[in-house]
Amino acid sequence: MALWSGRFEKGADAFTQRFGASLPVDKKLYAQDVAGSVAHGQMLAAQGVISAKDAAAIKEGLAAIQAAIEEGTFAFDINNEDIHMSIESALTAVIGDAGARLHTGRSRNDQVVTDTRLYAKQRASDLMDANLALRAALLEAAEKHFDVILPGYTHLQHAQPVLLSHHLLAYVWMLTRDFERLAAARAAADANPLGSAALAGTTYPLDRFATTAALGFARPIPNSLDAVSDRDFLLDLMYACSVSSLHLSRLAEELILWSTSEFGFITMADSYATGSSIMPQKKNPDFAELIRGKTGRVVGDLVALMMTLKSLPLAYNKDLQEDKEGAMDAADTLEDCYRCAAGMVATMTVHPEAMMAQAHKGYLAATDVADYLAKKGMPFRQAHEVVGHLVLLCDKRGCDLEDLALDDFKAESDLFEADIAGCLNLKAIVEARTTYGGTAPVAVRQQLEEAQRAYEADQIRL
């Protein structure tokens, strides 16, 4: 018998019962459900709605149920379609009338979203923690490979030389912003719907501020209709997960590229690669590919709930039961991806000589040669043209700008002097980009310290 069976003449159909049940998904919310019920029961007693004795029995009974669930001895039964009914009917079976009084002034509509908000807050915190672990791995790699030079790319063509530490720090900043988005999602979830009852509030003298404090929420939600039907906080969480997942897909893609024979910039640790069942020589970056691939499902989770919410009338509708599975999946998936990426970065081997060899290809000094002329008074557009001719000359000769003689330079412009050699050296080119945020070691050192400080500040916010 369902807890709502009073007005029904026939029992439920087995198929629709299974179709309508959310228990397989929401049983994960058991701890939050118990916490919400304890807070509600205590508040009912404090307000004189139930006796202190009943409230004590409720609290004790719920603790025993939580322990049974955690020990794996709780008998879940799909007749109780969700975690709320499962726990309440088990409670009433054990403590009788006191248990049957717990649902006074409450509906599953405010109950479910209270549980979900508590859960979202916890998962946002877990993700912030995992985000920090990945940032720590990247910061450590940036420190370890601080001076390594590789080609920087635009359009995936060699552009200008950059420090590997600079490149890795770009990801640290993406993740620093992702942390901010997760913190914002946690703050969005941090509001208490309990006491809104089914949709309109209740005739009992409930103290919503008391349950807000007991459950550690920042504030009660001011509108009961909004409280039971708002799922924005899950969209916020999934949006934060989606953006971070996109960032991880970019990192994963680069690690995949860098570990190809064509690049040879890094070697993945054996534990972050797999072999082939037919080709004995293969070492595949499966886990980086999975991180890249899982972005699709995280973004899919976000879009799915957006579509579920579209055009939903107020207040609670059963459609809202579709909210939890995707949100849980997005958080679980991102947490695993953070962990996997951190391990991959911490264990990869970097090949500085391969990076440097590539940096010598593709005329990475060209901008600096043009800047050399511009600094001597030639308009930059004209200087650009001159260097274009020099690159063409190199292309024809099959050599690099570094291999040209001073006379070759002078043939294009008599502004060239012997000191042009200083513009052709990759290390000097990198060292010259001292603007704030630039790739010179002095600037990157400053940047690394800033990223480290942001990391430490975020650690405190956990």
Q: Among residue numbers 89 through 108, which ones bind ligand ARG (CB under 6 A)?
A: 108
**Contact positions with ligand ARG (CB under 6 A) in 22-41:** 22, 26
Q: Is residue 155 flagged as an active site residue? A: yes
| Among positions 89, 92, 242, 321, the unique one binding ligand ARG when judged by CB under 6 A | 321
The distance of closest approach from Cβ of residue 254 to ligand ARG in the complex, given in angstroms and rounded to an integer, is 40
CB of 319 to ligand ARG, least distance (A): 9
Give 54 or 323: the residue with its C-beta nearer to ligand ARG.
323
Q: Which is nearer to ligand ARG, 21 or 440 (CB)?
A: 21
Pattern of binders to ligand ARG over 55-94, x per CB under 6 A?
Answer: ---------------------------x------------
Nearer Cβ to ligand ARG, position 108 or 123? 108
Of the listed pieces 42-50, 262-270, 293-301, 316-324, which binds ligand ARG according to CB under 6 A? 316-324
Which of 129/226 has CB closer to ligand ARG? 226
Cβ at position 110, least distance to ligand ARG in Å:
9
At its nearest, how many Å lie between ligand ARG and the CB of residue 316? 6
**Residue ranges in 111-130 that form contacts with ligand ARG under rule CB under 6 A:** 112
- Annotated catalytic residue: which of 155, 261, 277, 311? 155
Tell whether the torsion through CA atoms of 413, 419, 420 and 423 is positive or negative. negative
Judged by CB, which is closer to ligand ARG: 35, or 183? 35
27 vs 145, beta carbon nearer ligand ARG: 27
# residues contacting ligand ARG (CB under 6 A): 10
Q: Which of 5, 51, 271, 276 is catalytic?
A: 276
Should residue 320 be labelled a site residue for ligand ARG when binding is judged by CB under 6 A? yes
The alpha carbon dihedral of 261, 265, 269, 273 has a sign of negative
So which residues are the catalytic ones?
155, 276
Residues engaged in binding ligand ARG (CB under 6 A): 22, 26, 82, 108-109, 112, 316, 318, 320-321
